[in-house]
Structure 1
Amino acid sequence: MNEAGDSPVTALRRGGGLAAWRQIADALAGEIRSGALARGAQLPAESALATRFGVNRHTVRRALGVLAEDGLVRTTQGKGSFVEQGPIPYPIGPRTRFSEIVTRTGREAWGDLIAAATVPADAGWAEALGIAPGAPILELHTVHRADGAPISTARTCLPLPRFSGFDAAYAASGSITRAYAGYGVADYTRLSTRIGARPADAEEAARLDIAPGRSLIVLSSVNVDGDGQRIQATRSLFAADRVELVVE
């Protein structure tokens, strides 16, 4: 057994032309696909894997990097590596609520506020919110998680002064919907959604615990309140292999 006590020592083939890191990646991928390593499970520490395979930690790290690029694991700084849980069905309809969607899958939903600022609306955000270019808006940068795993990162803009202080309400509640309740918005609906795709840059990849260049689904959306007033414009970036979009 290795030092973690959960896997036997695995002998690698030497001199066969297949690099050690590739053999390790293939072995772990096989265990993930067979269910021996369950979805959401934490992998043994790099030191334990190095002991198991009789290699140094650099070789293990390279193997884990390949598995991350293939969408089989995610590595979180300071926490370790985890088997990806599989895509969440994500309906896009009149009422699209991240917290409700994630909770229905049996996972815990939460949103982290990364940054917030009051900025003048550029032409694109002004058009989306139905306001004049240059008007002040509150810009939020967030990361949304399911059982701690980052699913999406977003840039959300709201008109001011109506939503002054919304950043504090969001940070405390971890939910756009719950934060709206403090502003008298009991319900809101989706006015429009545009769907695109592109590779993740380094900053986006770091927020989502994925390798740079991995595919992102880009959702640009506008929400309105019960009176039809535009209250939110958002550009969300989803790790493509963590959601399955369902257009309703």
Structure 2
Amino acid sequence: MSDSVVNRPPGAVLGPVHPIRRVAGMAVWQQLRADIFGRIEGGALSPGDALPSETALAGAYKVNRLTVRRALADLARAGVVRTEHGVGSFVASQPLRHRIDDGQASLLESMARGGHAVRQTVLDARRVDPAVGETGEQHHFPDFPGAVMEYRYIRWVDELPWSVSFAAIPAALAPPSWDGTNSLFAAMSATHGVEVLRDDRCFSAVPANPEDAAWLEVQVGTPLLLLRGTNSNTQGQAVAHIVHRIRGDRAEYAVRVPH
């Protein structure tokens, strides 16, 4: 049987396609997933390229659309492709490596040094007294008693959504009218002369809730990287609690292990 070539929008080069043949021990959708994944890994498709439509893929591989949909959904869960409802599926961008031992207090400064464009939109800024915030956690700063400022904001890196973020800092150290133009910690330093350093970091995985999905342009349930931590000043005093819900397909964190 001759190979098929998928009809698709300009830009994506899928190449010749062999119809899927059933083999023992491997479901048809898994074979399809493996073939598409191999083409992406082999460079036939680049980040941002549009994949052919479900109908075109089904016709070329001689499978039904449900099989195509399952294969693409699994690739999306793995962060290999991203799907925009009503638009189509696209090859996902590769994760950006972010070093958390580079001496910077914020991702904004870290990424800017690497030549990446970072922008932030502040969704909410509120003064909380007593110091129990909307997340239900107590943001306690023993060395800075009193009210706490809480911020919720969205970060984009290279014009792709990166994280839904939260930070709590002592109100005494809060910069006036922080608008996200620079990092919160750079603004704290400029206003109060405090040098902010990364302290502890804890990582885990969580599924995207509906709000996450809307802001981060992913499907509900998509794996996110949950980062929690604190920042301190040069005296070792805690000056910030942070929570970032980060797109798992966008971020790769790295740290050098001391010998």
Fold in common (TM above 0.5) = yes
Pick aligned residue for 1:112 from 90, 96, 121 = 121
In 1, are the aligned partners of 2:20 and 2:62 still within 8 Å (CA)?
A: no
Cα deviation for residue 139 of structure 1 reads 1.8
Cα deviation for residue 201 of structure 1 reads 4.5
Asked if 1:234 corresponds to 2:242, the answer is yes
Deviation by residue 1:54-91 (Cα, 9 ceiling, x = unmatched):
66665444322201222323345677533231341322
CA distance in 1, matches of 2:58, 2:19: 12
Aligned-residue identity in percent: 22
Pick aligned residue for 1:156 from 153, 163, 167 = 167
> Superposition RMSD on alpha carbons, in Å?
3.8
CA distance in 1, matches of 2:86, 2:99: 29
State the secondary structure of the residue aligned to 2:37.
Answer: helix
Pick aligned residue for 1:31 from 29, 39, 56 = 39
State the secondary structure of the residue aligned to 2:191.
Answer: coil
CA distance in 2, matches of 1:212, 1:145: 20
Asked if 1:243 corresponds to 2:248, the answer is no
Cα deviation for residue 187 of structure 1 reads 6.1
In 2, are the aligned partners of 1:88 and 1:243 still within 8 Å (CA)?
A: yes
CA distance in 1, matches of 2:221, 2:203: 18
Asked if 1:176 corresponds to 2:181, the answer is no
Partner residue, 2:104: 95
- Shift of the 58–157 alpha-carbon distance from structure 1 to 2, 3 Å rule, reads farther
In 1, are the aligned partners of 2:202 and 2:228 still within 8 Å (CA)?
A: yes
Any stretches of 5+ residues in structure 1 without a counterpart?
Answer: none
Partner residue, 2:9: 4
CA distance in 1, matches of 2:106, 2:183: 9
- Shift of the 125–56 alpha-carbon distance from structure 1 to 2, 3 Å rule, reads same
- Shift of the 52–247 alpha-carbon distance from structure 1 to 2, 3 Å rule, reads same
Asked if 1:127 corresponds to 2:137, the answer is no
Asked if 1:68 corresponds to 2:76, the answer is yes
What TM-score does the superposition give when structure 2 sets the normalisation length? 0.70
In 1, are the aligned partners of 2:105 and 2:198 still within 8 Å (CA)?
A: no
Partner residue, 1:222: 231
